[in-house]
Chains A and B, each alone.
Chain A
Amino acid sequence: MATRTVTRLPAPSKAAYKRPSDALRSRHHLPWRPRRPDQQLVAYWFLAPWLIGLLGITLGPMIYSLYTAFTNYNLLTAPKWVGFQNFQLLLQDPQFIQSVKVTVTFTLISVPLVLLSSLGLALLLNTGIRGLSIYRTLFYLPSLLGSSAAIAILWITVFSQPGLFSDVMSFFGIHTGSLIGNPRTALYTIVVLNVWAFGATMIIFLAALRNVPREYYESAAIDGAGRWQRFRRVTLPLITPALFFNLILGTVMASQTFTSAYIIGGPAGGPAGSLLFYTVYIYEEGFANFKMGYASAMAWLMLIALGLFTACCFATARFWVHYGDER
């Protein structure tokens, strides 16, 4: 930064050039800007794979798909420009509306549930409990398994009829039937799956809780703060960075749910479309029906929606996310 301020200085007088240090400074008055000596262009060799990937398989294809979103494209013939037709058709497509409904409902229910349960368990484990590392490992494990096909298959056997869940409930005299076969409850089985895999979120909360300085609790206690007040006024503000991170990541992940929905509901989206997640519908339209333009339009709508959500989070962050060192 220091060298940049030098460039804004007025041109030195002729007398000033006599000092040797000014010979260096005068380089900044050349018509081109010379490379700063501390810059290492070799860095671009190290960045080359990532940069090629960024242009070739991320940004490039994304921009191309922005174009195909305005075309009819079935991969075999050249894309045909149709203007906003794909977006107009989407708004009239009941299956698209259904997929938005399913995904938004799922995200709105499962993300807060995951945040609450993982924060609750993190608080329970942050009490100096013995064997913390064992608990941490075992609670974390399901979050690695949760996105696998095998667990989705297990979920089918747990929530079908006969299945573990209905058997346990009928022991208490409640007859649930098959939760997966019922359009009103099928989505909640995937909510349960998401909550079951709450370990990763919990680990982040746990790390944040361990960074809260003990002295804060002591001084709060001296000021007469009760248990709840200490949580509300000390703990909660200090873990908002973790909450912020988990909220964004949880929402982005939940809105992209695919494997469990596809295995449990099949490509058609389960009973009465109750498991027709957005990504499942993109898959159906793009890769079963080869409507690439239509699928591109859907992908871009999702990108815009998640981008808006993330932007809102960052824009409001300064009102509710507190960083410990008062930055």
Chain B
Amino acid sequence: MIYASPLSSSRPFFLFRFGPVRSRAFQALLRHIVAISLLVVMLYPIAWLFVASLHTGESAALMGVGLNLTHLSLSNYWSGLTGPLDFSRLFLNSLLVAILEVIGALFSCTLAAYAFARLNFPMKRLLFSVLIAALLIPGQVLIVPQFILFYNLHVVGTYIPLILPHYLGIDAFFIFLEVQFIRTLPRELDDAARIDGCNHLAFLLRVVVPLSLPALATVAMFMFINSWNDLLGPLLYLSNPHLYTVPLGLSEFIDNTGQSSYGGLYAMSFLSLVPVAAFFLAGQRFLVQGIATTGLK
């Protein structure tokens, strides 16, 4: 879906035409107006959140619809990061968990995807069907049995239940995505590498991985965002406030917040959105580059 060709043919199909006016430029203008006003309505609350987070005390809760741009200060950010809830620690915790999960997903999914995309082995079709079935298992059905498992392994209260599944390929969707991508790499590469005496692992690391960077970046981006946003996992497995992640901290924060500390809540909420947006915007550019340099669609 991300790899869709950016080129479109010259005479596109319009279902949407506003009014009887046939001028092409006028129609285009109307389309821009509709799209932009929709974007403004959708993104305004986030802008509002940012401005409200710059107000201290009661005025954050009482800002109203408009953006009051007077008396702004960053003190909410400072007090949130260093105050009693110590969000700086939570951000570091979230970052640690997310990075470890990204590494795990890249490791296990790339290995499995290479086998499915490039190797022949007994029961391949059966195992691929199992992979597709695993894709459709709703993750939250697994929370109860996995909790029982990790409870009996005495690792509840640590990061292991959050991280370990990703090293064991729990993300069937990412495997599927990488399989689809690796399949498009030309077969001649395999033969050339084999003649040069490459074994499968060397071929994977030296040829497939560098050529699959767009797919790997996509996996890394989605894994990071999923991990960063996850509330249910930390809620189940973490009980020590020192190990809390950001969503868990926010969830606790909202339970014991009066109007006076809304500014701090807004500040930490907004700050928690920044890495997701930044990661996406950075990854987006990288994806476009990757597609341009490899010439793959």
A53 in contact with B138 given A41-B121, A164-B45 (CB within 8 Å): no
Does A113 interact with chain B (Cβ within 8 Å)? no
- List of A residues within 8 angstroms of B229 by Cβ: 147-149, 259
Please state if A39 and B122 are interface contacts (CB–CB under 8 Å).
yes
Please state if B169 and A156 are interface contacts (CB–CB under 8 Å).
no
Binds A, one of B68-76, B77-85, B276-284: B276-284
Q: Whole-angstrom distance between the alpha carbons of A218 and B262 in the complex?
A: 58
A144 in contact with B225 given A235-B13, A287-B147 (CB within 8 Å): yes
Please state if A40 and B48 are interface contacts (CB–CB under 8 Å).
no
Please state if B251 and A262 are interface contacts (CB–CB under 8 Å).
yes
Please encode chain A, from 290 to 319, with 1 for each CB lying within 8 Å of some chain B CB and 0 for all others: 001001100110110011001000000000
Q: Which residue of A lies closest to B248 (CB)?
A: A149
Does A32 interact with chain B (Cβ within 8 Å)? no
Q: Which residue of A lies closest to B269 (CB)?
A: A150
Task: Output the least CB separation between B98 and chain A (Å).
Answer: 13
Please state if B138 and A252 are interface contacts (CB–CB under 8 Å).
yes
Task: Output the least CB separation between B38 and chain A (Å).
Answer: 7
Does B256 interact with chain A (Cβ within 8 Å)? no
Q: Which residue of A lies closest to B245 (CB)?
A: A149
A124 in contact with B169 given A153-B254, A310-B136 (CB within 8 Å): no
Q: Whole-angstrom distance between the alpha carbons of A287 and B264 in the complex?
A: 29
Please state if B269 and A154 are interface contacts (CB–CB under 8 Å).
yes
A303 in contact with B137 given A39-B120, A129-B35, A167-B65 (CB within 8 Å): yes
Does A56 interact with chain B (Cβ within 8 Å)? yes
Task: Output the least CB separation between B93 and chain A (Å).
Answer: 14
Please state if A149 and B15 are interface contacts (CB–CB under 8 Å).
no
Q: Whole-angstrom distance between the alpha carbons of A48 and B114 in the complex?
A: 12
Please state if B43 and A292 are interface contacts (CB–CB under 8 Å).
no
- List of B residues within 8 angstroms of A47 by Cβ: 111-112, 115, 121, 127
Q: Whole-angstrom distance between the alpha carbons of A151 and B8 in the complex?
A: 35
Please state if B130 and A144 are interface contacts (CB–CB under 8 Å).
no
Q: Which of B42, B138, B246, B254 contacts A255 (CB 8 A)?
A: B138
Q: Range of interface residues on chain B?
A: 35 or more
- List of A residues within 8 angstroms of B165 by Cβ: 53, 57
A64 in contact with B148 given A46-B119, A52-B168, A164-B45 (CB within 8 Å): yes
Please state if B170 and A58 are interface contacts (CB–CB under 8 Å).
yes
Please state if A259 and B247 are interface contacts (CB–CB under 8 Å).
yes
A127 in contact with B16 given A149-B229, A154-B45, A156-B254 (CB within 8 Å): yes
Please state if B142 and A61 are interface contacts (CB–CB under 8 Å).
yes
Please state if A283 and B16 are interface contacts (CB–CB under 8 Å).
no
Please state if A296 and B144 are interface contacts (CB–CB under 8 Å).
yes
Q: Whole-angstrom distance between the alpha carbons of A147 and B200 in the complex?
A: 39
A148 in contact with B65 given A50-B175, A214-B11, A227-B17 (CB within 8 Å): no
Task: Output the least CB separation between B111 and chain A (Å).
Answer: 5
Does B49 interact with chain A (Cβ within 8 Å)? yes
Q: Which residues of chain A from 166 to 181 have a CB within 8 Å of any chain B CB?
A: 167-168, 171
Q: Which residues of chain B from 172 to 203 have a CB within 8 Å of any chain A CB?
A: 175, 200
Interface size for A (C-beta < 8 A) is: 101
Binds B, one of A81-89, A131-139, A183-191: A131-139
- List of B residues within 8 angstroms of A112 by Cβ: none
Task: Output the least CB separation between B210 and chain A (Å).
Answer: 18
Please state if B13 and A299 are interface contacts (CB–CB under 8 Å).
no
Q: Whole-angstrom distance between the alpha carbons of A57 and B120 in the complex?
A: 26
Q: Which residues of chain A from 53 to 82 have a CB within 8 Å of any chain B CB?
A: 53-54, 56-58, 60-62, 64-65, 68, 73, 75
- List of B residues within 8 angstroms of A114 by Cβ: none
A57 in contact with B170 given A39-B121, A148-B272, A153-B265 (CB within 8 Å): yes
Does B126 interact with chain A (Cβ within 8 Å)? no
Does A217 interact with chain B (Cβ within 8 Å)? yes
Please state if A150 and B273 are interface contacts (CB–CB under 8 Å).
yes
- List of B residues within 8 angstroms of A164 by Cβ: 45, 48, 65
13 cross-chain CB contacts under 8 A:
A39-B120, A42-B200, A43-B119, A124-B34, A137-B284, A139-B42, A153-B266, A154-B269, A157-B49, A162-B64, A235-B13, A283-B143, A306-B138
State the 6 A-B residue pairs at the shortest beta-carbon distance, nearest first. Answer: A53-B168, A61-B145, A50-B169, A65-B145, A150-B269, A43-B121
Name A's B-contacting residues (CB within 8 A).
35-36, 38-44, 46-54, 56-58, 60-62, 64-65, 68, 73, 75, 121, 123-130, 132-133, 135, 137-142, 144-145, 147-151, 153-154, 156-158, 162, 164, 167-168, 171, 196, 203-204, 206-207, 210, 212, 214, 217, 227, 230-231, 235, 248, 252, 255-256, 258-259, 262-263, 266, 279, 282-283, 286-287, 292, 295-296, 299-300, 302-303, 306-307, 310
Inter-chain pairs besides A62-B142, A139-B42, 17 sampled, C-beta below 8 Å: A39-B120, A41-B122, A44-B121, A46-B114, A49-B108, A50-B109, A57-B149, A68-B145, A75-B151, A129-B31, A149-B229, A162-B62, A258-B231, A296-B144, A306-B136, A307-B136, A310-B136
Name B's A-contacting residues (CB within 8 A).
1-2, 4-6, 8-17, 28, 31-32, 34-35, 38-39, 42-43, 45-46, 48-49, 52, 62, 64-65, 107-109, 111-112, 114-115, 119-122, 124, 127, 130-131, 134, 136-149, 151, 164-165, 167-170, 175, 200, 204, 225, 228-229, 231-232, 235-236, 246-247, 250-251, 254-255, 262, 265-266, 268-270, 272-273, 276-277, 280-281, 284
